[in-house]
Amino acid sequence: ANSPLVDDGRVIVEVDAGVSKEVWKCVLQFLYTTEIRCSFESNVDMLLELLQACALYSLPKPLVNFVESRLFALTKVEVAAKILVASKATLRSAAVVNAATVVLSKAQDLISRQPDAVVPAALRAIDVCEQHVKQARAQ
């Protein structure tokens, strides 16, 4: 995101194009009211957009906790693989670590249902686990 621009007294803030208007509406409602009202609580792809927005813009922890808990509730091995592949390398959230655990523990299920998704998800899961262990040792 860039610095705000002023146009005829209005402030214009550029935001990541990968985050839909519906997700931004949820974010803004939360920022203004501290209430989470998201029409997409069961939509994994939109929750992943919200998780990315939380990471990109350092959004408040209650919003992060909400999206992570919703993703956990919906997490099947296929969802965990999507979380891992969609997440950025710098994203160090519980959702990513738990997704790595799900992928590694249920890789056999993923192989039988989505063989093309196994390799990228498994490699990402191993990388996330290695980063997590290194962080734990450094503390």
Burial class (CB in 10 A: 0-12, 13-18, 19+), 51: buried
Give kind and range of the element (H or E) at residue 29. Answer: helix 21-33
Which tops the pLDDT comparison, 89 or 34? 34
Residues near 35 by Cβ (< 8 Å), separated by ≥ 6? 29
Query: Quick one: DSSP state of residue 60?
Result: -
Model confidence over 2-17: pLDDT tens digits? Answer: 556 666 777 777 888 8
Q: Whole-number mean pLDDT of the chain? A: 79
